[in-house]
Structure 1
Amino acid sequence: MLTDIKASAYTMLDIHTDCVQIAGRFRNGLDSLTHIYTTDHNLPTPSREETRTNQFAHEHAYNTIRTLYNSASSEAEKNAFGEAMRSLPFNKMLYPDGTKNYFAIDNDTNDKLMAGSYHDSERIEALYYSCNMFRPSCMGYNYPLEIFNHLQLEGSKMTVREKRKKMAACLSEITEPLSEFDMDYINEMRKVDSLLIEAYELLGLDAIKEMNYSQKRMNEAVILKQMKGNKTTKLVKNSFKVGNKYKCTEIVSELTRIFELLNIHPHKTIRGETIQYYFDATPCKIGKKRERGYYLTAELL
């Protein structure tokens, strides 16, 4: 039995009903039955009483809108209140004629309680021990998927480099060959920092650490590794950004570095105005010394 609440809520199994029925499908009996499941500390854990109170609140809201619907003074108002009624959660707990469907209400209660049981492994274990149909033996593994929530929540408190160091430490724990769970783990991390994962897949962790998690250096290395597109243009765009001002000396130094990196030998001498091959750039003066430079207004390529 497999429950992956990250992949689908429909894989949640009720220990006292679903798991018992699954075991019962094996007519000749079983020596053992394994339930592999994930947990999520963000899941709400309402009691039965709290769930029923919440349902009563939804019922009250539904009845209030229904009163307004029945009292509507125009067809437009009636249609608007009708749409609101149909969108309310309690509408799913009614028969087509508007009477309560107590079976649907009970199902909603049980679904809420079952979902809450996957908040942590202690709750699942308690349910197995309370079920007379099983003699459970439990073991767990804390896979650090929760790190993504922490990294996203603490993003404003952490520098990009600190965040990448933590993520690299997690990636270092993964060994080849990758399991499907490992791949899901990496894809979750990709949502936090897509460049780091791309660099990890193309260059490896050692290279990332050598670059000290630098955005520019990682981007540059990834571009060089990918054998497609115009590398020169991509590297220039990686070094220069629209909306910024650059001194002519800075432009010459960086373009020279990029051309040498790609073993390119331009026919003309590299000058500050060379940046105009790649950007719509306006001449300007920069700093107290009023040094010549360019203000980049748009990409040309």
Structure 2
Amino acid sequence: MINIILPINKGQRLSDIYTIETNTILCKTLTGLGATYSEIKAERHSIIIELNQPPIVGKCKDPKHKKDNLFGVMQKVTVDDVIAYLEDTIANGKLIKILCTPESFYKVKQAFEYLELNMYTMCFMLLDECHKLVKDNDYREDITLPIDDFFHFDGKAMVSATPIIPSDLRFEEQNFILVEVKPDYDYTKAMNIVHTNNVLEALKVTLPQIQQVQEEPRSICFFINSTDMILQLMNKLNIIEDSVVFCSAKSVDKLKRSGFNRAYDNWNDKHKKPYMFFTSRFYSALDIELDEKPDVAFVTEPYFAEYIMIDPCTDAVQVIGRFRGGVSTIHHIVNTNESYPVRTKSGIVEYLKASREAYMTIKRIYDCTTSLETRNAFKAALDILPFNKMLKNGKIDYFAIDNYMDEALVKSSYNNIDLLMSLYGKTSHFRAEISDSLFYPLGDKERLTLENKNTSIKESRKKLVEILESLKNDMDSPIVQTHIRELRRLDPFIVEAYETVGKEVIEINNYSPKKIKEAMILKRYREKTTGVEFVQLLKNSFQVGKCYTLKYIKAELVRLYKMLDISPKDTVTAQTIREFFQVEEL
């Protein structure tokens, strides 16, 4: 693909130096250059594909587009609505300016067909934030729905500040070119990396540090692609009353069912709070305009889920670009996962090639088999082969292949901090430095291992006892006390057992709850019956050399046990006195 470099000066907009041309992949490098704006203002009919709903809502409500005849096609918009818009637009001699999600593109297509209009020759199609065609392909099956139609348009282009060049052969066949905007000034930003094995505890340290350098209080914006994790952090950091969450409509409902009501599926500054949390829905194509420069914090905990990993070359760049007024500081609080495989691009290509060969081998046998049962057997085998995920309607889905490649390389970078820093080094947007390394006896890995419901209770308790043993020499420190509270929440019985009888007794009893509980009862009994108070009471009730009836001895012992709230290990009898005195029967 031919690569054309387009220099740009500070303060210039895209429209000052370039008009988007057909068969172009535009790498604008910087967000907020006005690529979508220039297409909205262009003197031609346009269909702009926005890969998420918030930018459509935002642009349609923006006062600066009030006279631009924008029409958003999303979930609740019908084909009839699109037909009415087209009829009114044409009747009034206006330009068609449709903003549409991939999933709703079929409505636009059907409306043009109904009115017998050829959208392929009539309109220019712009695919905005085209990197998401690759990034989101694995969980949004319909995100590439407009792609086949895209190649039928006479005028078409793709744009992103962080494009991932597609491997789809049609881009070469139609002679697409890559136009790359190159700023002639330094646009890099400082990125503070906090490497940790416990994201929550690291946030308890980092959050006050961020606030401490603020001359005046300002918002802190967190980007975490999991509302489950967001809810946990808000609760455990005690900031839930000062927080707001921006996420998908489904996640809004989920949070409300959990009792959190300040969750919204579209950005609006009227919902602003000191702590604002955003999921990946808001990573790109959205203008967040504030009267301040907030602090931004990415949070990645790969033991919790893979999908919350931040890609420094796309996600991080796009997020910072959302803040049109700029940001004050940028932080990435990150754990790494050594179990993630380290892979190379050439190795992944080899894997995909072998996967395709394996699929085609089984496919040839399937095609030649005449027996119905045999065909069913080979069809079942085809369905579970890895390469089956790289197919769509029986054809190779190049965006699925690109997604697999991209995800595998990003995942590899989270194996260790050196690989992650290396990936940060490949983007020209950040000067990333490790500002702190915060490691704790109880890390995310250990905690999630204990919470894993697939692990047996015995194995989980063995791990928990090992952790407690590693903490025993520093029990008075605040952080260790925090860890113990967390362990007690996970398994109060085994923590109490460890504190009462210790590791050795637990292991001798082979982690049997019944036997451990008996050992705990005996230990407490001995502690109480050999304590100073009990001995003093015994001496007060029984004098050496004096005679007592068996009935009196039993009654007195029962009374003393009750007085000190002691549960005797056996039934109290007169002979129990032998545990405390040398006795002679007369």
TM-score interval (norm. to shorter): 0.5 to 0.7
Counterpart of 2:302, as a letter, is I
- How far the C-alpha of 1:32 sits from its partner, in A, is 1.2
Are 1:55 and 2:360 an aligned pair? no
Residue 255 of structure 1 is matched in structure 2 by none
Separation (CA, whole Å) in 2 of partners of 1:143 and 1:119: 19
Match of 1:100 among 386, 390, 396: 396
User: Residue 168 of structure 1 corresponds to which residue in structure 2?
Assistant: 469
**Contact kept? 1:165, 1:213, Cα under 8 Å:** no
Q: Distance in 1 between matches of 2:521 and 2:310?
A: 46
2:340 counterpart letter in structure 1:
L
1:231 aligned residue: none
Q: Percent identity?
A: 28
Q: 1:2 maps to which residue?
A: 299
Contact 2:390 2:396 in 1 (8 A): yes
Deviation per residue, 1:126-170 (Å, 9 max, x gap): 22233221122312233454679xxxxxxxxxxx99995664114
Q: Tell me by how many angstroms 1:265 deviates.
A: 4.5
Measured at CA, do residues 220 and 24 of structure 1 come closer, stay the same or move farther in structure 2, by a change above 3 Å? farther
Q: How does 1:106-255 map to 2 (within 5 A)?
A: 106-138=402-434, 139-143=436-440, 145=443, 164=465, 167-170=468-471, 172=475, 174-177=479-482, 183=486, 186=487, 198-200=493-495, 202-203=496-497, 205=499, 207-209=500-502, 213-216=506-509, 218-221=516-519
Residue 327 (structure 2) pairs with residue 26 (structure 1): no
1:289 aligns to what? none
**3-state DSSP of counterpart to 1:28:** coil
Match of 2:378 in 1: 81
State the superposition RMSD in angstroms. 3.7
Q: Is the 8 A contact 1:199 1:222 kept in 2?
A: no
The CA distance in 2 between the partners of 1:37 and 1:210, in whole Å, is 33
Q: Quote the residue 2:368 is aligned against.
A: 71
Q: How far does residue 177 in structure 1 lie from its aligned partner after superposition?
A: 4.0
Secondary structure of 2:377 counterpart = helix
1:264 is aligned to 571
Letter matched to residue 403 of structure 2: N
Structure-2 separation of matches of 1:162 and 1:35: 30
Alignment partners' CA distance in 2, 1:86 and 1:214: 47
Write the distance in 1 (CA, Å) between the matches of 2:463 and 2:370: 61
CA contact (8 A) 1:62 1:90 kept: yes
Determine if contact 2:389/2:400 at 8 Å carries over to the other structure. yes
Say if 1:33 and 1:223 are closer, same or farther in 2 by CA, change over 3 A.
farther
Given the superposition, is the C-alpha separation of residues 111 and 79 from structure 1 closer, same or farther in structure 2, using an over 3 Å criterion? same
Q: Kindly name which structure, 1 or 2, has the bigger radius of gyration based on alpha carbons.
A: 2
How many equivalent residue pairs?
210
Q: Deviations over 1:144-202 (max 9, x none)?
A: 54679xxxxxxxxxxx99995664114647533459xx83xx49xx7xxx7xx7331x2
Residue type of the partner of 1:220?
A: E
The structural deviation recorded for 1:34 is: 1.5
Give the partner amino acid of 1:168: E
The CA deviation string for residues 23-68 of structure 1, in whole angstroms up to 9 with x for no partner, is 1122221111211121111211010000110111111110011011
Match of residue 334 from structure 2: 37
CA 1:90–1:37 in 2, change beyond 3 Å: closer, same or farther?
same
AA aligned to 1:209 is G
Q: 1:222 to 1:104 in 2, by over 3 A?
A: farther
Corresponding letter in the other structure for 2:470: A
| Structure number having the greater helix percentage | 1
Q: Distance in 2 between matches of 1:74 and 1:117?
A: 47
Q: Tell me: CA distance 1:210–1:76, structure 2 relative to 1, closer, same or farther (3 Å).
A: closer
Using CA pairs under 8 Å that are at least 6 residues apart, name the structure with larger relative contact order, 1 or 2. 2
Does the CA contact (< 8 Å) of 1:3 and 1:12 recur in 2?
yes
Q: 1:126 to 1:78 in 2, by over 3 A?
A: same
Q: Note if contact 1:62-1:88 (Cα within 8 Å) is conserved in structure 2.
A: yes
> Any idea what the Cα deviations from partners look like across 1:64-85, whole Å, max 9, x if unmatched?
1101110112111111111111
Paired AA for residue 571 in structure 2 = I
After superposition, the C-alpha distances for 1:221-248 in whole angstroms (9 at most, x for unaligned) are: 55789xxxxxxxxxxxxxxxxxxxxxxx
The equivalent of 1:248 in structure 2 is none
| Alignment CA distance shift 1:8-1:37 (3 Å) | same
Give the aligned partner of residue 173 of structure 2. Answer: none
Residues 223 and 125 of structure 1: CA distance in aligned 2, closer, same or farther (over 3 Å): farther
Q: Tell whether the 8 Å contact from 1:69 to 1:81 is kept in structure 2 after alignment.
A: yes
Task: Say if 2:309 is the partner of 1:12.
Answer: yes
- Structure 1 pair 119/67, CA: closer, same or farther in 2 (3 Å)? same
Please tell me whether the aligned partners of residues 5 and 38 of structure 1 are also in contact (alpha carbons under 8 angstroms).
yes
